[in-house]
Amino acid sequence: MAYDARIFRVLIASPSDVDEERELVVSIIQAWNDLYSFARKVVLLPLRWETHTAPEYGTRPQEVINRAIVDECDLLVGIFWTRLGSPTGIADSGTLEEIERVGKAGKPIMLYFSRVAIDPEKIDMHQIEQLKKFKNNSYPKGLIENYRLISEFRDKFNRQLEMKIRELQQSEPKGAVPLRLTLLSERDAQPVGPKYEVALSSESVQNLQDVLEDKRERIQQLLDEKTAAELTQPVVIGIENTGSTGIRNWYVQLEFSTSSAELSLSNRHPGRSARVFYKNVFSSMRIRGSEALEALEKTFTQFEPGVLTSTEGVWKLGLEWDAIQPQRLRLVKPFLFLRAKSSGSLKIIAKIYSDSFAAPYLLEAELSVKSEISNAALDDALPEWKEILSDEENNKEKQNIITFN
């Protein structure tokens, strides 16, 4: 199956006496691609002058190599044993010129120096002295590695290559990850983006003197429940993958913070069950009645609900997801509810961990709420109060009759 991926080009720079290590670097890169390239959406491309340059007459040989692979690489791996290499007319060796050129471009360089034993008759003392000078000069400029066995080199490079790939991924621009944190409208279940503004209003009754004294407490309770429901805003959150490839193995940590202690968060709506809320929010679905709710709940079985916790005014919710497909939106469950006793805002930060990312990826959203309470007469604020009390009295009488019988 085809997939989009970021290509990192790895230049292998060395003199001619470390052919075994050069081949080993290529095999390690190929093994990394086999294991990780699909999940991480990264492909490593090994660059060598033997395979990525062509003959060109009239141009300095090293310049041809520079133009073809050195200037195009993202990472350089330099390996030395007994030789520094042949002069290029500009630098003491082609390998050295490549290292200096990549270093000036601000790209990462991994240097390895072999201490593997060698036949003394094959030693070129001039090359050894040049190499020693270069190695001593390299120490102040960065960390270098030594190895005494080929197997040691393999183990070190295999481990350290992964570190460098993560660094390269971290240096990628934020826009390289096609994710968006969005809020959804409670009216039509459509994504509205990371910024959403809503207005909530309720009515308060200041005077209950005209109500019989034994009914006042119950009416005040009904008014409080009504105000709590009317000043509560559903917080429906989704994460969109706007790219063309899927992202696998997620852990999402959401943090919620309010601008005031007058705003509080819960996973329960006061005076309204979750089942009713599902019906109301997702009324745009083309199925109705009990079948709609059953289908909806079946759809939501794929979302493992997280546990909402609060510490010093900051709420947290952690979720684990298997994947999000391209051009899809995945909902956060459970749905949350913001109680706003006064105007304010809810800030949401999603920290996303995935095999596809070298480091956690941050997304932000904000829900702004304008909350208003106005004074009103009882008949305007709660027109059905007489009917509610009457129904409750009738139910109580029926229960008494049944109990008596």
pLDDT at 270 (0 to 100): 64
Please state the rounded mean pLDDT for residues 58-75: 87
Identify the pLDDT of residue 31.
95
Convert the chain into a string of H (helix), E (strand) and C (coil).
CCCCCEEEEEEEECCCCCHHHHHHHHHHHHHHHHHHHHHHCEEEEEECHHHHCCCCCCCCHHHHHHHHHHCCCCEEEEEECCCCCCCCCCCCCHHHHHHHHHHHCCCCEEEEEECCCCCHHHCCHHHHHHHHHHHHHHHHHCCCEEECCHHHHHHHHHHHHHHHHHHHHHCCCHHHCCEEEEEECCCCCCEEECEEEEEEEEEECCCCCCCCHHHHHHHHHHHHHHHHHHCEEEECEEEEECCCCCEEEEEEEEEEEECCCCEEEECCECCECHHHHHHHHCCCCCCCHHHHHHHHHHHHHHCCCCCEEEECCEEEEEEEEEEECCCEEEECCCCEEEEECCCEEEEEEEEEEECCCCCCEEEEEEEEEEEEEEECCHHHHCCCHHHHHHHHHHHHHHHHHHHHC
Domains and CATH numbers, the chain: 6-172 (3.40.50), 178-389 (2.60.40.10)
Q: What is the structure's pLDDT at 319?
A: 86
What pLDDT does 196 receive?
Answer: 92
* CA atoms of 368 and 347, how far apart (whole Å): 9
* Per-residue confidence (pLDDT) for residue 39, from 0 to 100: 80
Contact 132, 103 (CB under 8 A): no
Would you state the pLDDT for residue 276?
Answer: 43
Lowest mean pLDDT among 12-21, 105-114, 280-289: 280-289
Mean local confidence (pLDDT), 318-328: 83
pLDDT higher at 327 or 196? 196
Mean pLDDT of the chain: 81
Question: How large a percentage of the chain has pLDDT more than 90?
Answer: 30
Pull the structure tokens for residue 293. Answer: 């709710």
- Asked if the bond preceding 305 is cis, omega within 30° of 0, the reply is no
Integer-rounded Cα radius of gyration of the chain? 34
Q: Measure the CA angle with vertex 5, ends 21 and 34; round to 5°.
A: 45
Model confidence pTM above 0.85: no
CA–CA gap between residue 366 and residue 137 (Å, rounded): 52
Q: Of the ranges 81-90, 161-170, 250-259, 290-299, which one carries the lowest mean pLDDT score? A: 290-299
Q: Which residue has the tokens 């290499």?
A: 85
